[in-house]
């Protein structure tokens, strides 16, 4: 397995085993009833729309778990952009076992490639700027590592993987302790050495941004600000703290947001709402 894959071997085995158990139950009754036990078949996996591939290693693992003797040729590796009609994988093996693996392999590959494909569309909108796209923690439970891996395949940077990856002070934290200054003071007194993003403060207003910078924040999460407000924050604080725009960002709005000069834009939609892409398994025999 490549070093940048998101799951350790045991995690991969557990994930695939769980996914197959969920789908197969006590056995594939239809294949057992209609397909001779020793019948062989060949098939190709085909992209039915333009897409960015993510999760091919999982599809391959699903197939090999069902049929360890399967002959698999991966044509399109993760991160590759393919056009509709492209063959992305070739496979041959026991017909019953391949039919049993089909839906689970496709479900995973379609979901993760959907994330990668939508992410790539967002990245393209801001490629002409120095701004980087970030994902968020808005993921399906159990799919966090995989969703963020797919976002990387699409060209995004990963934000916090988990809550222990960084300090991000939000409005509820501030309301509880009384002020941004007090929240940052409390964070500074705690061991934050594991933080990948320093001390980040969510700011809804330019006044909050001013207070956060004065109190020693490392990064500002500028939430639902207008582009004029973002430009003002960039003018005042660019180079002093990292600036991240967030909140309701769409494909129609991200270009103009990036052009304000912010360093990052975080988008929950790429992992939370990406539609699955259309991939089919076509049998040749």
Report yes or no: 265 and 257 within 8 Å, Cβ to Cβ. yes
> Is 188 annotated in the active site?
no
Alpha-carbon torsion, ordered 58, 59, 61, 63, to 10 deg: 170
> Is 219 annotated in the active site?
no
Those residues whose C-beta lies under 8 Å from the C-beta of residue 120, and which sit 6 or more positions away, are: 52, 81, 154, 155
β-pairing verdict for 167-169 and 264-266: unpaired
Determine if residue 117 is left, alpha or beta; phi over 0 gives left, psi from -120 to 50 gives alpha, anything else beta. alpha
Selecting among 170, 210, 231, 236, the annotated active-site residue is: 170
Q: How far apart are CA 256 and CA 252, in angstroms?
A: 8
β-pairing verdict for 40-47 and 279-283: antiparallel
Query: How far is CA 240 from each of CA 12, 214, 218, rounded to the nearest angstrom?
Result: 41, 11, 8
Selecting among 67, 223, 244, 263, the annotated active-site residue is: 223
> Is 202 annotated in the active site?
yes
Q: Which two tokens stand for residue 148?
A: 């963020």
Selecting among 90, 138, 236, 255, the annotated active-site residue is: 138
Selecting among 103, 121, 124, 236, the annotated active-site residue is: 103
Nearest to 271 by CA among 81, 110, 140, 78: 140
Which positions are catalytic? 103, 138, 170, 202, 223
């Amino acid at each position: 397995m490549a070093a940048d894959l998101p799951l350790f071997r045991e995690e991969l085995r557990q994930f695939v085993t769980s996914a197959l158990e969920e789908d197969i139950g006590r056995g594939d009754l239809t294949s057992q009833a209609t397909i001779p036990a020793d019948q062989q078949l060949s098939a190709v996996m085909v992209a039915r729309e333009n897409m960015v591939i993510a999760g091919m290693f999982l599809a391959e693992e699903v197939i090999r778990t069902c049929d360890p003797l399967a002959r698999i040729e991966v044509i399109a590796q993760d991160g590759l952009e393919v056009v509709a009609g492209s063959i992305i994988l070739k496979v041959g093996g026991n017909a019953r076992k391949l039919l049993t693996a089909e839906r689970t392999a496709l479900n995973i590959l379609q979901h993760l490639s959907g994330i990668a494909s939508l992410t790539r569309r967002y990245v393209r909108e801001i490629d002409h700027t120095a701004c980087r796209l970030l994902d968020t923690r808005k993921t399906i439970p159990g799919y966090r590592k995989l969703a963020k891996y797919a976002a990387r395949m699409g060209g995004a940077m990963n934000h916090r993987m988990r809550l222990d990856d960084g300090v991000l002070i939000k409005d509820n934290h501030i309301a509880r302790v009384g002020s941004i200054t007090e929240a940052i003071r409390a964070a500074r007194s705690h061991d934050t050495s594991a933080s990948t993003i320093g001390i980040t403060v969510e700011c809804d207003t330019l006044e909050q941004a001013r207070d956060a910078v004065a109190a020693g924040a490392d990064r500002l999460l500028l939430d639902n600000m207008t582009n004029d407000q973002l430009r003002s924050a960039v003018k005042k604080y660019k180079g002093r703290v990292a600036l991240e725009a967030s909140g309701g960002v769409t494909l129609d709005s991200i270009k103009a947001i990036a052009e304000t000069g912010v360093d990052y834009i975080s988008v929950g939609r790429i992992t939370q709402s990406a539609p699955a892409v259309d991939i089919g398994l076509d049998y040749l025999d």
